[in-house]
Amino acid sequence: MTSVDKDGTVAFWFYRRDVREVRVVGDFAGWRAGSLEMAGEGDGWWRLTATLAAGEYRFRYVADGQWYPDYASNGIEMGDLGVNSVLVVPEPAVHPHRTNSARMVA
């Protein structure tokens, strides 16, 4: 499961008991299996926080060498090697300076 903050910070959450190592791999890191290591949070939960630029990404979790998609992300799609998860990081919200358009009437 993923959540995205307004500044592009992404929290990746993965649940799998009895595994020693979990990583996030995806096109944001060139699909390198050793790129983003998750930390065990206890009771089978694993977590990673990363900051990504705005865009649409494909990724999977790798737990002890087994690849898993995230069905709770922004979607899934078939890739050459199976199901990939889709992650959408939106552009940061821009708030133009507001002007006070009130006028005094005499």
Write the pLDDT tens digit of every residue in 7-59.
888 999 999 999 999 999 999 888 876 679 999 998 999 999 998 999 999 99
Write the pLDDT tens digit of every residue in 62-103.
999 999 999 998 989 998 888 999 999 988 766 555 555 555
How high is the pLDDT of residue 30? 85
Q: What's the structural domain count of the chain?
A: 1
Domain enclosing residue 19, as ranges: 2-89
Is 95 inside a domain boundary? no
Q: What pTM does this model have?
A: 0.81
How high is the pLDDT of residue 33? 66
Is 66 inside a domain boundary? yes
Contact in structure between 80 and 67 (CB atoms under 8 Å): no
Is 53 inside a domain boundary? yes
Q: What is the CATH number of the domain that holds 79?
A: 2.60.40.10
Q: How far is CA 54 from CA 33, 51, 90, in A?
A: 22, 10, 5
Is 102 inside a domain boundary? no
Is 99 inside a domain boundary? no
More confident residue, 4 or 106: 4
d(CA 68, CA 86): 13
